[in-house]
Amino acid sequence: MKIDSYDLEECKLLIKEGSHSFYAASKLLPKYVRDPAIVLYAFCRIADDVVDKETKIKNPAQDLKKRLNQVYSGQPRNSSTDRAFAALVKSYDLPKQLPLALIEGLKWDQDGRRFRNLSELYSYCARVASSVGVMMCILMNVRDEDALARACDLGIAMQLTNIARDIGEDARNNRIYIPTEWMDQSNISIEDFLENPENFPEVSSFVKQLLNRADYFYKRAGAGYFSLPKECRPGIFSAGKIYSKIGKHIAASNYDSINNRAYTTTFEKFLMLISSIGNSALTTVMPVPSTIHASAIPEVDFLVSSVKQPKESKKSFKERSSKFINLLFDLEQKDRALAGI
């Protein structure tokens, strides 16, 4: 089912104005992926705005579910994003569990849910970010479970970067994504922090921990680029690099996300887009890292399993044995994260 040209242009306009990093990275995607990806991100942007901004809708998340049901029934609402997304869903046989997971994560935002530990935070990241990564894989006609797991890793890394960057802004909006057990262990009152985040510079240590975890997932995600179509690698590679650069800016400000909000400049984005072309080209000659076969973390298993896998032959001994190598990699990265390296 072809996406209507008018609806596509409306989606492009929405993304160009509301998601600068993705719009920049999308320039490196081939047209057959770029156009449906823009439709996907436009729908995600609309969903986020419906929940996050003041509207006359009494129950935004419930309304989004009804809206999604209309999309999957082939009778979308009369808007460009809904019509275009309905065409995308039909063309790519997109599992409904994926956008539903996104809506569930947005509902958690609406409810002001707090997360006790990293596992609960990963569950949130899985819904609001990894779900989109899996949908992007499907748009690239990639459904291999190893590739999907790495896409989930990238989503978690990027969302943890977002959380680390926005701690001050979120607090001023009465939201907190720092694991509450971290706050308890440091004897920091959550309510006092939300009232005056500027009075708690020690929170910078939590920012550092979040970025350490993000780096761990960026490294796990790196092997996933090898599973993507060659022409898609520069665009996805650049998206990851742009976000990881935000983390480096946060670190350069002594992890102060309360008084500063890190961002990448237009020039930096340009440089990373150019370098991504060269770096992605290396994936055509380098051996595939064994970490491509790392098991998906439990919090994203439901996303990976929702995608129908293509029929394939049994894994070779080399592929199976790489699981052990990956375990060693995981242990090393966890040790480095704990040591603050």
- Read off the pLDDT of residues 55-102 as tens digits, 9 standing for 90 and up: 677 888 899 999 999 999 999 999 999 999 999 999 999 999 999 999
Number of domains in the chain: 2
The CB density around residue 257, as the number of other CB atoms within 10 Å, is 25
- Establish if 83 belongs to a structural domain: yes
Q: Provide the mean pLDDT of the chain.
A: 87
Same domain, yes or no: 233 and 152: yes
With contact defined as beta carbons under 8 Å apart, do 16 and 264 qualify?
no
> Does residue 56 sit within a domain?
yes
Residues 77 and 32 in one domain: yes
- Decide if 157 is inside a domain: yes
Same domain, 199 and 270: yes
| 129 and 2 both lie in a single domain | no
- pLDDT tens per residue across span 281-332: 556 656 677 888 999 999 999 999 999 876 654 444 444 444 455 555 555 6
Same-domain status, 146 and 54: no
Does residue 26 sit in the same domain as residue 151?
no
- pLDDT, position 318: 43
**Average pLDDT, integer, range 179-207:** 96
285 sits in which H/E element: none
CATH number of the structural domain spanning residue 160: 1.10.600.10
Domain limits at 282? 123-338
Q: Are 305 and 208 found together in one domain?
A: yes
Cα separation, 310 vs 244, in Å, equals 32
Domain check: are 127 and 90 in the same one? no
- pTM score, two decimals? 0.86
- Pair 227, 331 in one domain: yes
210 & 257 share domain: yes
